[in-house]
Amino acid sequence: VWQEVDTELLMANVEMDNLYFLATGGGICFGGGEPLLHSLFIKEFCEQCPDGWQFTMETSLNVPRYYLEEVVPFIDSFIIDIKDMNPNIYKAYTGKSNQHVIDNLVWLCAHAKHKERIIIRLPLIPEFNTIEDRKRSRQVLREMGFERFDEFEYVVR
């Protein structure tokens, strides 16, 4: 069931967890689809939230930079599914270029509040990349300055 909400209604639905968020260091994770496409909404929402809430962004980063620039001051941690750093593998799997992803990774490395709280997802995608491809992606990302990785295998049925 889809429900369209504005920032005030979203706040009304989550503010009851304020004490829990403050006690545990918790907060809100923006994900599902590509949340950066809703960067103005996310910025407006974060500006309303009490101090002490933590914000996580789960993203592919495959968006124009201005979407990322809108929210990066508010986001405490990122979970980034980069698919594969090889442009040919990325395009074969997604049908799109990964140039925005690469450019945004470089920019984010320099501008994120907590670079150590960026997790890069490196999936093994059956029929698209190999363990060796994933190792090469990890090496490229290490050279860019990233240190935290989540390696897993996509399940294809």
Question: What pLDDT score was predicted for residue 16?
Answer: 92
Q: Is residue 142 part of a domain?
A: yes
Q: Read off the CATH number of the domain in which 80 is found.
A: 3.20.20.70
Residue 6 domain-assigned (yes or no): no
Has residue 20 been placed in a domain?
Answer: no
User: Residues 102, 64, 55, 74: what is their CA dihedral angle, to the nearest 10 degrees?
Assistant: 110
- Domain range for residue 66? 52-157
pLDDT for residue 153: 95
46-68 CB burial, b ≥16 within 10 A, e <16:
beebeeebbbbbbbbbbbeeebb
Kindly tell me the burial class for residue 99, based on how many C-beta atoms sit within 10 Å of its own C-beta (0-12, 13-18, 19 or more).
Answer: exposed
pLDDT score for 27: 94
Total tally of structural domains belonging to the chain: 1
* Residue 78, pLDDT score: 97
Q: Tell me, yes or no, whether 96 lies in a domain.
A: yes
Would you state the pLDDT for residue 4?
A: 85
Provide the residue-wise pLDDT of the chain in tens; the chain has 157 residues: 777 889 998 999 899 998 989 998 889 999 988 999 999 999 999 999 999 999 999 999 999 999 999 999 999 999 999 999 999 999 999 999 999 999 999 999 999 888 889 999 999 999 999 999 999 999 999 999 999 999 999 987 7
